[in-house]
Amino acid sequence: MTHTRIALAAVAACTALVGTAACGGGSGAASGKSADSGTYTFWDPYPQFDGSSAWAKLVGTCGTKAGVTVKRTAYDTTDLGNKALLAAQQGNAPDVMLVDNPVVSTLVEAGILNKMNEVGIPTTSVQKNIIGAGVVDGAPYGVPIGANTLALFYNKNVLAAAHIDPASITTWDTLTAALEKVKAAGKKGITFSAIGTEEGSFQFLPWFWGAKGDLTHLDNADGQAALSLWKDWVDQGLAPNDVLNNTQTTSWQEFATGQYAFGENGTWQLANAKKTGFPYGVISIPARDGGAAPAPTGGEFVTVPVQKDSARYTTSAKIVSCLTNDANLLSTDTTLSYVAPTQTAQNQQVSAAAELRPWVEAVAAARGRTSNGLGTRYPVISQQLWAAVQGALSGSKSPASALQAAQKAVENHQG
């Protein structure tokens, strides 16, 4: 689950540092490759999966089916982005590379990735909002292997004791009223991550977008409403002060104590949810005035980096197509607790595990952080957004002044 633990700003900055050691040393790719070498290099951000894992075996099998041997190398997410930039400059990028979705636009801007249509890889079966994070100037530069997003886990025991029907929570007002009833009943309200990293921005975005906030105008009234909501919860004791330092993991640990009514977290916590010892449910994060708020998509894209020998693309495309066919997506996404990016595989997932239905619905309403033309501007905007959240929740600035300062900083950076 590398989803949001990305040093996006560092990856973007590395574009300017690609010729220096600051981008990491060495590349795992073979140099002097040719189309008939028999070995294709593959990089992914899954160091947690060793050679005996189902994922590693799938990668190897897809190589075999394409008539080649795949040499797989796994890196930490940030390290992968940095090494990709350096390897491209040195002319030894991997043949196929799996990268976290917000990094795609950075690599495209650096001239590293091929358009999918130019290497013969179709993307029409993928949900538009999921593939959106990999689209630059109307062209997809990768295929998602799956997606995850955020929703609200709730503790059924805590809600029942406070006489709250989770189905009644459809707006910010109804959610806040529920938190107040929970507090009055002696339990705790909601926990989330507001830490000063990409995780904090990732968790704030559903509320920001749910207020119809605009990432190109952070300081408008809609964005201020979202930040005021979070600040009011903290000030009123409906959310704990430690959200300022909570990662998504520590926030989950708080929810798992059984004392909280709600925990904002992601698909990747499903296995842990079953271990809490109390009954839980999942609802979409509500938009301010009703309906599901758009949450950001997490997940990785399979890409085909630019090679000196373009004859290699035919085999690379076969490997990508194998990794992303519906049967393999179903297996992979079950392993990773991802929602599949195609409706066919999603339907199979829900048939096998009904508890995935609210996550499929949440992913359908989600959007990519770099979508709508934001591309490489997103890391700068995100950094200022999480700084504004920190400033407002800590009490050092009002929501309005925090977001005004954030917008000014973004404009100064972008010139």
Q: How far apart are CA 406 and CA 168, in angstroms?
A: 35
- Sorted by sequence, the CB contacts under 8 Å of residue 13 that are 6+ apart come out as none
Q: How far apart are CA 206 and CA 139, in angstroms?
A: 26
Decide if 2 is inside a domain.
no
The confidence band for 397, taking pLDDT boundaries of 50, 70 and 90, is very high
pLDDT exceeds cutoff 90 at 28: no
Decide if 16 is inside a domain.
yes
Q: Are residues 120 and 78 in the same domain?
A: yes
Residues 250-275 have a mean pLDDT of 95
Decide if 1 is inside a domain.
no
Q: Are residues 282 and 329 in the same domain?
A: no
Q: Are residues 36 and 84 in the same domain?
A: yes
Alpha-carbon 112 to chain mean position = 21
Q: 118-141, pLDDT tens digit by residue?
A: 999 999 999 999 999 999 999 999
Q: Are residues 63 and 159 in the same domain?
A: no
The confidence band for 25, taking pLDDT boundaries of 50, 70 and 90, is very low
Q: Are residues 277 and 306 in the same domain?
A: no
pLDDT exceeds cutoff 50 at 274: yes
Domain span holding position 161: 150-295+374-414
Q: Are residues 385 and 276 in the same domain?
A: yes
Q: 328-337, pLDDT tens digit by residue?
A: 999 888 888 8
Least confident window among 3-7, 218-222, 323-327: 3-7
Residue 273's identity, in one-letter code, is A
Residue whose C-alpha is closest to residue 276's, from 149, 155, 152 = 155
Q: According to the model, what pLDDT value does residue 373 have?
A: 85
Q: Are residues 210 and 167 in the same domain?
A: yes
Residues 179-203 have a mean pLDDT of 96
Burial string for 238-270 (b: 16+ CB within 10 Å, else e) reads bbbeebbebbbeebbebbbeeebbbbbbbbbbb
Q: Are residues 161 and 26 in the same domain?
A: no
- The CATH number given to whatever domain includes residue 84 is 3.40.190.10
Q: 136-168, pLDDT tens digit by residue?
A: 999 999 999 999 999 999 999 999 999 999 999
Q: Are residues 108 and 124 in the same domain?
A: yes
Decide if 36 is inside a domain.
yes
- Among 17-26, 77-86, 222-231, 365-374, name the most confident range: 222-231
Q: How far apart are CA 115 and CA 120, in angstroms?
A: 9
Q: Are residues 241 and 387 in the same domain?
A: yes
Other C-beta atoms within 10 Å of 235: how many? 13
| Number of compact structural domains in the chain | 2
Q: What is the pTM of this model?
A: 0.82
The confidence band for 13, taking pLDDT boundaries of 50, 70 and 90, is very low
Decide if 191 is inside a domain.
yes
Please say which residue of 365, 386, 405 terminates a domain.
365
Alpha-carbon torsion 153, 157, 163, 165, what sign? positive
Q: Are residues 319 and 219 in the same domain?
A: no
Q: Are residues 256 and 393 in the same domain?
A: yes
